[in-house]
Structure 1
Amino acid sequence: MSRRVLCVRLDNAGDVLLTGPAIRAVAASGARVTVLAGPNGAAAARLLPDVAEVLEWRCPWIDPKPDPVDSEDIAALVSRLRRGSYDAALVFTAFHQSALPTALVLRLAGIDSVGAVSEDYPGALLDLRHRVIVEDQPAAERALSLATAAGYRLPPGDDGALRVRQPLPDVRRLAGAGPYVVLHPGTSAPARAWPVERFAETARLLHTAGRRVVVTGGQSETPLTRTAAAGVAVDLGGRTDTGQLAAVLAGADVLVAGNTGPAHLAAAVGTPVVSLFAPTVPAACWAPYGVPHVLLGDQHAPCRDSRVMTCVVPGHPCLSSVTAAEVVRAVAAMSRLSERVV
């Protein structure tokens, strides 16, 4: 019987996608991999290759809008995990998150071998306390370093890039025929958002230049996508699930987006990204991984490394300083680079 390994990543979709190479390394050992993900990341976890099962749980010490800690909820999760009879678990986190509360839950569930990145003394909570030496390491490499420390390695021929399951759904009826540029105006944090009026201006400039434009967004973002589409783009706001969005991005020449999940989804399908990147977190860690990309935005702005969710600097200068014309030029440059790579 193959080993059963639980891989835990409890934050957002992009974070789960960045953990994909590490999860492939675990699966390459022959283990049956279950992913425990939060509600914002579970759909992305289901897109990852080599994942046998996805469990969903909202974690009060990781979720950006947490519910109060509830002893009955924790007990129910412990029982659920105990039934899984896992041989081992790896807890994947960002540099500013602690793995130790999650490790405590895993111990209560009877998991004998638990590993995580931890600077703090873990006591009896961790069997593997992995310490990351390289500062500002790309998030995908940080996760893979934990898997490697636990004895899991990518198989020969796996380059460690982000990936999703294939085949992806046919989305030609949604995106239309022919090449196009995708604009994704939404972000999970207002501090990472480029003004929607700039997206609308970009759509008009691209349309005038003869480029087809597709705008994407979630169910709650339809007013945003309608504005960004500016009457000249295909508006897919609220019309795609995660798999369909991956397929739309796979068909695009370039994605224009902030530091948000779809930027990492684009990387997972090999699409170049024009990244409107607010420096609230380090670009070295969270920029699109493994694909051609360009970062636009003042990376030395006062909000640098602050992790704020809402901008506290009047005028949001780190991103508002970026013009639509700059984005259009970057789209052209990324399109030419993509053509040379192909």
Structure 2
Amino acid sequence: MTGPAVRAVAASPDIDEVWMLCSSIGAEAARMLPGVDRVLVWDCPWITAGAVEATREHLARLDALVAEPAPAVAVILTSFHQSPLPLALQLRLAGVPFIAGASVDYAGALLDVRLTPGEDFPEDQPEPVRALRIARAAGFALPPGDDGGLALTGATPLPDAVAGLANVVVLHPGASASARRWPASHHVATAALLRDEGWDVVVTGGPDEADLTAEVAGHGAYGRDLGGVTELSALAGILAHARVVVTGNTGPAHVAAAVGTPVVSLFSPVVPAVRWMPYGVPLVLLGDQEAACRGTRARECPIPGHPCLASVTPAQVVAACEQLAGSRVHAAGVVA
């Protein structure tokens, strides 16, 4: 979701190379962003939950990483609930002369360009737009012809299990936080309904979600189970081939947006949809956005019965797939 901002920085004639610093969780995606020349991996104690402890030794590893490129400019692309200031302090101590970021807190000498959320730009805006605004304030604009959409490169060829299918709908039932998962039984019923309607159902998921994807695919009765066998590059190719993707508020929703595929978004309102829903593609947003869990950022549902998502029926999802069929848009970047 920082991709448009990265492309803006990379388009500047004053920039020789763009090195991206990100966590181990985001490194695979960072390597697929157009405009990134090299990825530096460092798990940030104040950003990545439970990653590492903030020790002198761990912070020293960041100093060593930054020493190699010796950057002239750092653009810190934090989300709305993250602070750029601890990283800005580290970068300033490492000798970075120009740093830009967005912070509700006074930044003193830590930021040369500081945008204040709620004053310089609205709090409620899509995350890609937020990041692009930070880059623009630092002096970087998208090149002519770039529409500011999401983009990825480097997708791998389709696996044989998918290559021959023409009417593909992808179901991605998992998410790292249980508060953002539609009930598995609803996914199973949806897969069966979609199969009966003539769709080619493909179920995707991570290595730790193999049992879930097998269940949703009906152990082969309702669709092709690709759980645990799709790295991000393979997933991008599969989602690009699909007519529609059904997923919660999780990474594959944004991968689908980056390859131009419409999304049925099963969105739990624990975070605002206006900030985190798939950006720049046709979508149908499902889920009670006024539920009591709204804005809590809860990882486990605080409301018995998970009503914000459990209230969405399989029939509604199938109807949304039919609504979106044929509405594919051209992605901002070429997947190859």
TM-score bracket, normalised by the shorter chain, equals over 0.9
- Which residue of structure 2 lines up, in the alignment, with residue 152 of structure 1? 140
Q: Partners of 1:157 and 1:176 in 2: how far apart? A: 31
Cα distance between partner residues in 2 of 1:86 and 1:281: 34
In 2, are the aligned partners of 1:256 and 1:274 still within 8 Å (CA)? yes
The one-letter amino acid of 2:108's match is G
Map 1:234-273 → 2, pairs under 5 A: 234-273=224-263
Q: Does 1:335 align with 2:320?
A: no
Residue identity opposite 1:33 in structure 2: V
Aligned to 2:6: 23
Q: Is the 8 A contact 2:260 2:328 kept in 1?
A: no
| CA distance in structure 1 between the partners assigned to 2:123 and 2:62 by the alignment | 33
C-alpha distance in 1 between matches for 2:68 and 2:320:
51
Farther off after superposition, 36-45 or 102-111? 102-111
User: Which aligned pairs between 1:13-92 and structure 2 lie closer than 5 A?
Assistant: 18-30=1-13, 31=15, 32-92=17-77
- The answer to whether the 8 Å contact 1:281/1:306 transfers is yes
Where in structure 1 do 4 or more consecutive aligned residues deviate above 4 Å?
A: none
Give the counterpart letter for 2:7 in structure 1: R
1:135 aligns with 2:120: no
Matched, 1:208 2:196: yes
Q: With structure 1 as the length reference, what TM-score do the two structures score?
A: 0.92
Flag structure 1 segments of 5+ consecutive residues without an equivalent.
Answer: 1-17
Tell me the distance in 2 between the aligned counterparts of 1:136 and 1:77. 32
Matched positions, count: 323
| 1:194 lines up with 2:182 in the alignment | yes
Q: Partner amino acid for 2:312?
A: V
Identity within the alignment, %: 52
Contact 1:19 1:140 in 2 (8 A): yes
C-alpha distance after superposition, 1:77-124 (max 9, x if no partner): 112212221111011111111111111111122111111001101122
The residue number in structure 1 matching 2:158 is: 171
C-alpha distance in 1 between matches for 2:61 and 2:127: 30
Contact 1:179 1:251 in 2 (8 A): no
Q: Deviations over 1:166-212 (max 9, x none)?
A: 5x221141423122100001112110000111111111111111110
Q: Distance in 2 between matches of 1:197 and 1:109?
A: 52
Question: Is 2:270 the partner of 1:283?
Answer: no
Structure 1 equivalent of residue 334 of structure 2:
none
RMSD: 1.5
Q: Residue 321 of structure 1 aligns to which amino acid in structure 2? A: S
Matches of 1:92 and 1:197, distance apart in 2: 38
- The one-letter code matched in structure 2 to 1:27 is A
User: Which blocks of at least 5 consecutive residues in structure 2 are unaligned?
Assistant: 332-336
Closer, same or farther: CA 147–323 of 1 in aligned 2, 3 Å: same
Aligned AA (1:303): C
Listed one character per residue, the Cα deviations across residues 18-64 of structure 1 (whole Å, up to 9, x for unaligned) are 10000000000032100111111110001101110001111111012
Aligned residue runs from structure 1 range 211-222, under 5 A? 211-222=199-210
Counterpart in the other structure of 1:7: none
2:238 maps to a residue whose letter is V
TM-score of the superposed pair, with normalisation by structure 2: 0.93
